A and B are shown apart, each in its own frame.
Chain A
Amino acid sequence: MYRSFRRALAASSAACALVYGLGATPTLAQPPIKIGFHAGLTGPAAADGKAAEAAAQLAVDQINRAGGVLARKLELIVYDDQFKPEVVVPLANRMIGDDKVRAVISAGFSAPTRAAAPVFQKAEVPYIAAISFAPEVTRAGDYVFRVTSVGEVQGRAGAKLVGDVLKKKRVVVITIKTDFGKTLVAGFKDAAPKFGIQILKEYEYSPGDRQFGPLVASIKADAPDAIYATGFYFTGGPLVSQLRAAGVAADIVGPESYSSQKFIEIAGAAAEGTLITNVIDWGSQSPEVTQFLADFEKKAGFKAEAVSAQTHAAISVLAAAIRRAASDEPKQIRAALEKTDLMTAIGRLSFNDLHEVRKVFPVSIVRNGAWTKFTTIDDMVLLAPPTK
């Protein structure tokens, strides 16, 4: 009697263990799916790099909390590329050889991403560039994808905003001397005639410039209706504030790289009315966007900007592809990535044959010290990314 009771107890506890083992904690039982991640976490790219890291971690946490992917958790393997191409190549080899990552997200700028793309291509590991604009990145091969629009496409969106939406025709163009700035302006000038825009004058400045006195004095003399000013929040903030302080009242249109709240902090009241072609739709009702904006602010302690939204979207795209592939095999993830059609923190996106992203541009405007929705540029013919 006693013995049979013991046997029954043993059998039932084994059954319990079996049930729990299979049902309640499956995600713990299997090893996580490793995702590589690199960004400039120290050095000059650190501000964007840290924001991107927070966004990537947020995306992974959200996915894991909801049960992971293929009943497995995602694990983010984070590396600091220091914004240096010579640093990122050994890191890429380490991710491939030692960490055995199944796919990699780059929130690095163009220089490191351009250097790393061929390494991942050769190793046949899917590589998604979240914020790099260099055209060569996707040309590295069919394992490379990009969730941000290249500069030319965004420049064309800027031209439509200025010439068609705002109906401003006499325009001054300011180029920041980086790949990003030059491609933005190339796209703007390319589309300008279509919208009847007359470019009065073009100016250039270096990324290190913060004092634009001479430029501002000359623009004042040009008396344009609108200014297409490329740059980053740390150059655009001082530029906009100096233009307004000098009494220039023309509309100012910029790129997504002004989307940080820091831009408004720097330019203060002068920021009011500045328009940008953004990746964040501040008026969106879609839960993918609103949830991201709320959760990111809670996690990071500051409002989301383009870099963090794009990095979050890159992880979402990757997780969805692994789910669709029903496998963590890089080859099958790659194939599934090609068929992406997903609502993300930066809106609905898919890839073309060069693996460049197809998406619309929400336009944001500064009102009462915050970015708010203005309109959307959704002319998909105008916004067609470069193809193979």
Chain B
Amino acid sequence: MNLLVELGVQGLINGAIYALIATGLAMVFGLLRILHIAHAGLFALGGYLGLVITNASGSFALGLAGAMLLVGVCGMAMYRLCYEPILDKPPYVALIASVGLFIAMEELFRLVFGAYGRSYRRVPLQGALEFAGMRIKYAELGVAVLTVGLLVGLALFTSRTRVGIAWRATVTDSRMAASFGVSIAGVRYLNFFIGSALAAAAGVMVGVLNNLVEPGMGGVPSYKALAIIVLGGLGNLNGTLVAALLLGLVEAYGSIYLSKVLDRDSIAFAALIAVLLVRPQGLFGLRS
């Protein structure tokens, strides 16, 4: 019984990380219909910047904030330099550019930060909370708090602020929004900034949980996040959140009870195939 609960907690924590990564991906897809693979590269960049800033300054809060800010700016630059010039091309052009960018980023991390991966000099959020026979690490609690905080913040922003409402209007119908005076370019930059900053937060937290930031750390999220946003109904943020948490849970139980039949990493895709067979629009997508 205790094990079942503990697996559930672990699943939710992993799901929270998936949610942070996949939200940015879903935001980009919702707005531009681009499969932004290089998003996982930004996730890894977040991990590196968080570690470098924390190791240099000794402050994890500064590391986290700095990584989110800088990666957000990098995301905007990526949109400006890589995606904007090819927006009028068919979507696969952007996809290929994105895959190329992702591979280049990984090798760049290897050149700049070394092939071995980096670790924190003093690992932040050490220690654990004990209750009901379980031990939950502070870093894991940190993931949960950060995810809830950021996603609630995002929800409030999009529903309560003028900029957020303009953003939603642009996602729904960009031409109509533009005719009401919304700056489409501004919305796109904002979109990349927020999405990339969320990925950076996930990267920093994964770096802390593993005490390891490595060039290839974007590899698994790059395709898993893709499965999540498809499951969630491409571009649907609420659907993405639910799909991410569900995947985290299914993987947690699956890696213990299904590991002989199904690899943990293949669970996401088995679920993807199953859902697409039954509901091609995704779990929460609307049939168009």
Instruction: Quote the shortest CB–CB distance from A49 to chain B (angstroms).
Output: 8
* Leading 3 A-B pairs by shortest Cβ distance: A213-B10, A46-B115, A217-B6
Kindly identify, within residues 206 to 240 of chain A, every residue whose CB is under 8 Å from any CB belonging to chain B. 206, 208-211, 213-215, 217-218, 220-221, 234, 237-238
CB distance from B262 to the nearest CB of A (A): 11
Instruction: Report the separation of the CA atoms of residues A191 and B214 in the bound assembly, to the nearest whole angstrom.
Output: 35
Taking CB atoms, residues of chain B closer than 8 Å to A234 are 117, 212, 214
Interface 0/1 of B243-283, CB less than 8 Å to A: 00000000111011001100111000000000000000000
CA distance A58 to B181 in the complex (A): 67
A204 within 8 A of B: yes
Determine if B226 is an interface residue (Cβ-Cβ < 8 Å).
no
Q: Are A213 and B211 in contact (CB under 8 A)?
A: no
Inter-subunit contact B211/A44 (CB<8 Å): no
Tell me the bound Cα distance from A213 to B109 in angstroms: 27
B209 near A: Cβ within 8 Å? Answer: yes
- In the bound complex, residues from chain A placing their C-beta under 8 Å from that of B114 are 47
Chain A residues in the interface with B (C-beta under 8 A): 42-44, 46-47, 49-50, 177, 203-206, 208-211, 213-215, 217-218, 220-221, 234, 237-238, 241, 245-247, 260, 262, 265-268
| A211 contacts B110, C-beta separation under 8 Å | no
Residues B82-123 near A (CB distance < 8 A)? 107, 110, 114-117, 119, 123
A210 engages B210 (CB within 8 Å): yes
Instruction: Say if the beta carbon of B206 comes within 8 Å of chain A.
Output: yes
Please determine whether A213 and B117 come into contact, CB atoms closer than 8 angstroms.
no
Q: Are B115 and A50 in contact (CB under 8 A)?
A: yes
Apart from A213-B252, A214-B253, list 7 A-B contacts with CB within 8 A.
A42-B107, A206-B264, A213-B13, A215-B255, A215-B256, A237-B211, A268-B211
Residues in B with CB closer than 8 Å to A241 are 211
Q: Give the residue name and chain of the A residue nearest to B103 (CB).
A: A43
Query: Whose C-beta in chain B lies nearest to the C-beta of A302?
Result: B116
Q: With contacts A211-B210, A214-B11, A247-B135 known, is A42 near B255, CB below 8 A? A: no
CB-contact partner of A47 in B116, B123, B256, B264, under 8 A = B116
Q: Can you list 12 pairs linking A and B with CB atoms under 8 Å apart?
A: A43-B107, A208-B265, A211-B210, A213-B11, A213-B140, A217-B3, A217-B7, A221-B2, A237-B211, A262-B116, A265-B119, A266-B117
Q: Which residue of A lies closest to B253 (CB)?
A: A214
Report the separation of the CA atoms of residues A179 and B226 in the bound assembly, to the nearest whole angstrom: 28
Name the B residues within 8 Å of A210 (CB-CB).
206, 209-210, 212, 217
Name B residues whose Cβ lies closer than 8 Å to a Cβ of A. Answer: 2-3, 6-7, 9-11, 13-14, 107, 110, 114-117, 119, 123, 128, 135, 137, 140, 206, 209-212, 214-217, 219-220, 251-253, 255-256, 259-260, 263-265
Residues of B within 8 A of A204 (CB): 259-260, 263
Q: Contacts of A214 on B, CB cut-off 8 Å?
A: 7, 10-11, 251-253, 255-256
A205 to B140 Cα, complex, angstroms: 20
A266 near B212 with CB under 8 A, answer yes
Contact of B119 among A209, A215, A217, A266 (CB under 8 A): A266
Which of B7, B116, B123, B135 is the most central at the interface, judged by chain A CB atoms within 10 Å of its CB? B116
Are B219 and A208 neighbours in the complex by a CB distance under 8 Å? yes
Closest Cβ of chain B to A81, distance in Å, is 15
Give Cα distance in the complex from A206 to B115, angstroms.
20
Q: Out of B135, B210, B263, which one reaches A206, CB within 8 Å? A: B263
Minimum distance in angstroms from A215 CB to a CB of chain B: 7
Query: Do B259 and A238 have beta carbons less than 8 Å apart?
Result: no
Closest A-chain residue to B10, C-beta based? A213
- Report the nearest B residue to A44, measured CB to CB: B216
Q: Assess the B209–A211 pair: CB atoms within 8 A.
A: yes
Q: Given that A47-B116, A213-B13 are contacting pairs, would A237 and B212 also be in contact in the complex, using a CB cutoff of 8 Å?
A: yes
Tell me whether A238 and B210 are in contact (CB under 8 A). Answer: yes
Give CA–CA (A44, B218) in the complex, Å.
12
- Minimal Cβ-Cβ distance residue in B for A237: B212
B123 touches A268 (CB 8 A): yes
Query: Quick one: which of B219, B253, B255, B263 has the most chain A CB within 10 A?
Result: B255
Rounded to whole angstroms, the CA-CA distance of A245 and B137 in the bound complex is: 7
Distance, CA A133 to CA B121, complexed state (A): 33
Q: Could you tell me the distance between the alpha carbons of A46 and B215 in the complex, rounded to whole angstroms?
A: 10
The reply to whether A211 and B212 contact each other, CB–CB distance below 8 Å, is no
Most buried by B among A44, A206, A209, A214: A214
Within the assembled complex, what's the spacing in Å between the Cα atoms of A266 and B117? 10
Whether the Cβ atoms of A203 and B210 lie closer than 8 Å is no
Complex CA distance for A274 and B107, rounded to whole angstroms = 32
With both beta carbons as reference points, the residue of chain A lying nearest to B265 in the complex is identified as A206
Least CB separation from A245: chain B residue = B137
User: Contact at A211–B14, with CB atoms within 8 Å?
Assistant: yes
CA distance A211 to B206 in the complex (A): 9
B177 to chain A, nearest CB (A): 40
Report the bound CA distance from A165 to B129 in whole Å: 35
Report if A246-B3 is in contact (Cβ < 8 Å); known contacts: A214-B255, A234-B212, A262-B117. Answer: no
Q: Is B256 in contact with A218, judged by CB distance below 8 angstroms?
A: yes
CB distance from B111 to the nearest CB of A (A): 9
| B-side contacts of A215, CB under 8 Å | 255-256
User: For B115, what are the chain A residues with a Cβ–Cβ distance below 8 Å?
Assistant: 46-47, 49-50
